Amino acid sequence: MDNTKQQHSRSWLLAMPVLLLSWLCAPALAANAPAAAAASADNQLLFGGSRATQCAAAVPLRQQGYVRIGGIDQWISLNSSDCTLPVILFLHGGPANPISPFADAIYAGWEQQFTLVQWDQRASGKTWLRNQPAAGERLTLAQMTQDGLALVQYLQQILGNRPLILMGSSWGSALGIKMVQQQPEWFAAYVGSSQLVSGPQNSLASYQAVLKLATAAQDQVALAQLSKLGPPPYAKPNGILRRLSRQYEAKMATPAPAHWWQAAPAFELEKHAPAYEAAEEYSFLQFMGFDPATGQTTSGMYHDIELQRDATVLKLPVYFIQGEADLVTVPAVTAAYVNAIQAPHKELIMVSKAGHGPNAASITAEWQLLQRIRAQLVGK
């Protein structure tokens, strides 16, 4: 999902206590975040010491730093007016479009009722800044899923047995389904926004939807590009379809407020822009399974995502928020997947004037849904 302000054309897509696996997670955030030690007291990390619950009382929480997950340092941030509140773990899209630089603006006020957790996934954002992949190293859906589950275990250790809502956007929604499929008892609910169901199905539906709109508009430039491109699958990644889908979404969806994309100063996006660009390039090519050195397409995470085949039995409440104007994860594909799901509760919420990326309407729909989920949790 294109969560960042840059929205690069190749980015086509935004509990019970358990023992922490010692080889996956470090004992403390602070030990892995030397830069945080020089920060102000408000930004210093609290979670030092033994592997025991650190949130024993209703105190505010605003911390960020690196945690050892899957053998590397990965960046997380926690923000809450009360660390005993239910937890939301956000899974960003892209891959490699972390929402953490913009979270304070987009989710302003949510920390009054939830503990918000942002995570820069492997090969994304600040995690990429700390860890450059070795030659030949590959991103896999299995590894990313294990990273996410290890992070949940870490959160359970430091926050205690708080209800945890997993919330994934676009690529992050496919990752989220895999996580709740493996450990449904760890989560109070799953919320998928712009749900990615199938790499091949979603891209074909996107092509067909854009072609239909371009035909209706008699857009000869777009029609010529689509004719030359042809329907997917493609031999190598390209940004043509994503650029056209964004162009037509802009005609149908209300744009997000401009101030959302003013990154928090601590992230220094201008300074780190080349590195973030490299992370996005790397992650997208890995996602598509394309090797620029050989010009060959091999197995990638894109080809592993077939949720309607592999993930229709989900043992927890699941909710899906879908923009009616979404031309990337097209509503018809999402609806077909939701219809196929067996779950204790399932719900599809359609949002008018919303496309693939977040806007005021989609964020409002998410907030209203989360209020309903929270009322059920508090009622328990």
Q: Is residue 307 part of a domain?
A: yes
Provide the domain count of the chain: 1
User: Which spans in the chain are helix H?
Assistant: 34-37, 103-106, 125-130, 141-159, 171-182, 199-216, 220-229, 240-252, 269-288, 301-304, 307-310, 331-340, 360-379
pLDDT digits (tens, 9 = 90+) for 107-119: 999 999 999 999 9
Q: pLDDT tens digits for 12-25?
A: 333 222 222 222 23
Q: Is the model's pLDDT at 2 over the cut of 80?
A: no
Nearest-CA neighbor of 249 among 330, 190, 313?
330
pLDDT-derived band at 350 (thresholds 50, 70, 90) equals very high
Residues paired with residue 78 on neighbouring β-strands, in sequence order: 63, 117
Question: Does residue 324 register a pLDDT over 80?
Answer: yes
Q: What digits encode the pLDDT tens for the residues 151-202? A: 999 999 889 989 999 999 999 999 999 999 999 999 999 999 999 999 999 9
What are φ and ψ of residue 113, in 5° steps? -125, -5
8 Å CB contact between 177 and 363? no
pLDDT value of residue 25: 30
β-pair partners for 319: 191, 347
pLDDT tens profile 357-378: 999 999 999 999 999 999 999 8
Mean pLDDT of the chain: 87
111: CATH: 3.40.50.1820
Residue 222 in any domain: the answer is no
- Per-residue pLDDT tens for 197-221? 999 999 999 999 999 999 999 999 9
The residue that leads in pLDDT, 242 or 135, is 242
* 21 domain residue, yes or no: no
Orientation of helix 199-216 relative to helix 331-340, angle to 10°: 140
70 part of a folded domain: yes
Share of the chain above pLDDT 90, in %: 76
Choice among 120-129, 261-270, 326-335, 362-371 with the minimum mean pLDDT: 261-270
- Is 236 inside any structural domain? no
What pLDDT score does 8 carry? Answer: 37
DSSP state, 133? P
Task: Please say whether the beta carbons of 96 and 3 come within 8 A.
Answer: no
Look up the domain containing 94 and give its range.
30-201+254-379
Report the C-alpha gap between 208 and 71 in whole angstroms: 42
In-domain check, residue 268: yes
CA distance 211 to 223: 7
Direct distance between the N- and C-terminal alpha carbons of the chain, in angstroms, rounded to an integer: 34
3 domain residue, yes or no: no
Burial classification of residue 306, based on how many CB atoms lie within 10 Å of its CB (0-12 exposed, 13-18 middle, 19 or more buried): middle
pLDDT score of 142 more than 80: yes
- Residue 16 included in any domain: no
Residue 52: band (very low, low, confident or very high) from pLDDT cuts 50, 70, 90: low
Q: In the predicted model, is pLDDT for residue 10 greater than 60?
A: no
